[in-house]
Structures are given as C-alpha cells and as structure tokens.
Amino acid sequence: MAGLAASGSNPDVDLLFDINGLAKDAPSWFDRVLPYIGEYGLPLAMVLLVVWCWWSVRRRGGQDAASSVAALVWAPLAAAIAVLVNVPIREFVERPRPFLDHQGLDVLVSGKTDYSFVSDHATITMAMAVGLFVANRKFGLAGIGLALLEGFCRVYMGVHYPTDVVGGFALGTAVALLLSPPAMALLTPVTKAVERSPRAGWFIRSRGRSYDGQDAVIPGARKETAGAAEKDLAA
C-alpha cells in the first residue's frame, strides 16, 4: 500500500494512512458531509444525549434525582476542564498535524494550524461520555459509542494521528473519573438545594413527581376527594 510505503515502520502512521485511505474510495458527497459531522454533528449529538438523559432523570424523579443531575452537570464541566488541561500538553509536545509531515493524505478539513496531540474533539466527547456514564450507564454507553465514532472521524479526515485520538480519550477519561469525587461532593449539595427550591425545583424533577418517582399527592386534593365521597354516601 502507498500508505505503508510512505510511513515506513511506524504503526501510528500506517494506521493513519489505512483509515484516511478509505476517504479516497468513498463517494464524493460522503466526504463533503463527513467534515460537518466530525466537526459539529457528533459533539452536538453528545450534548443532546446529555440533555435527553437529564430529561429522563427529571421525569422519573426518585431519591437519586439530585445526584444524577449533579453527575450530568459534571459531564460538560469535565470536558471543559480536560480541554484546559490539554493546552499545556499541546504546547509541550508540539506535534504538527499529520498532513504537514506526510504526503498523500486526503485532508477533508482545511484551516487546521494548531498542534495535533492531543485531539480536542476526542477529549471533549470522551470526557462527556464518561461523565454521562457516571450518571446513567445506558446513556453513557451510547455516549462512549459517539466518542469512538468521533475519534475515527478525526483520523478519517486526515487531521489527527490515531495516537492523538487515543491520547484524547485517555485525557478525557482521566479528568472525568479522577475529578468526579470532588466534583460530585461540590455539585450534589447544590442540586439538592435546587431540588428543594419552589421555583427552581423543576430542574431536578418534574412537578408532581415525588422522591420515590410516584405521582405526588397535591395538598388539599385528598380532603376534596374525601368530601366528595361523603356527599355521595349521604345522597
């Protein structure tokens, strides 16, 4: 293969050329659409997945609603912190983009002038996915699937080495997991306070949902029902 010849014995570059080589055989319309999916579509899908999980937790209610929402709030915060951690890493490693050092790549996204290691997109999506997994395993597994697809897209588009993506996955996972205990210790009391608030409690649970997830009894409703029953018996 041309990729193997160009890359020598470096497996990272070999895999880059193998994955990016798929773009040469793909339909032209697919290569025009994929950059939008890889740049914006998958990160947006991750955000919508977090919102969907929050809506599900909110509607279900239950005693763990506040802690689950706290974990969901941590997911985007973990992504933001991971990106900040990546700034000095990129400046220290100073790895150029693969298309600057290797000829023959099919680059689908232009304008990438910053350093390559580690991938911000891979870092963000995996940090959010792991944070989502802490809140809900089902949604978290779906998020991890989106993050893996995002990593594949970065290599397919020719803007990252596979190790850039793996490094992003490791960084996002490390930040989301290692900082989760102190983050939850700070966020859970806040979400519990919000839960008790008459005005903001809707953010944690739907109105009319009790702590056990059942329909809450509205004060006065039981008295009205009892009064109506007494009238029926009297009649």
Per-residue pLDDT of the chain (235 residues; tens, 9 = 90+): 333 334 457 888 999 999 988 888 888 888 889 999 999 999 999 999 999 999 988 888 778 888 889 999 999 999 999 999 999 999 999 999 998 888 888 888 887 888 999 999 999 999 999 999 988 899 999 999 999 999 999 999 999 999 999 999 999 999 999 999 999 999 999 999 888 888 878 888 776 554 444 444 334 444 444 454 444 444 4
Return the bridge partners of 113, or none. none
Token output for 108: 């689908």
User: The whole model's pTM is what?
Assistant: 0.81
Domain architecture of the chain: domains with CATH:
2-206 (1.20.144)
Cα separation, 140 vs 136, whole angstroms: 6
Contact (Cβ atoms closer than 8 angstroms) between residue 146 and residue 63: no
Contact (CB, 8 A) for 121 and 83: no
Q: What angle do the packed helices 42-60 and 65-93 form, to 10 degrees?
A: 160
- Give the integer Cα–Cα distance in Å for 70 and 72: 5
Asked if 180 and 33 touch (Cβ cutoff 8 Å), the reply is no
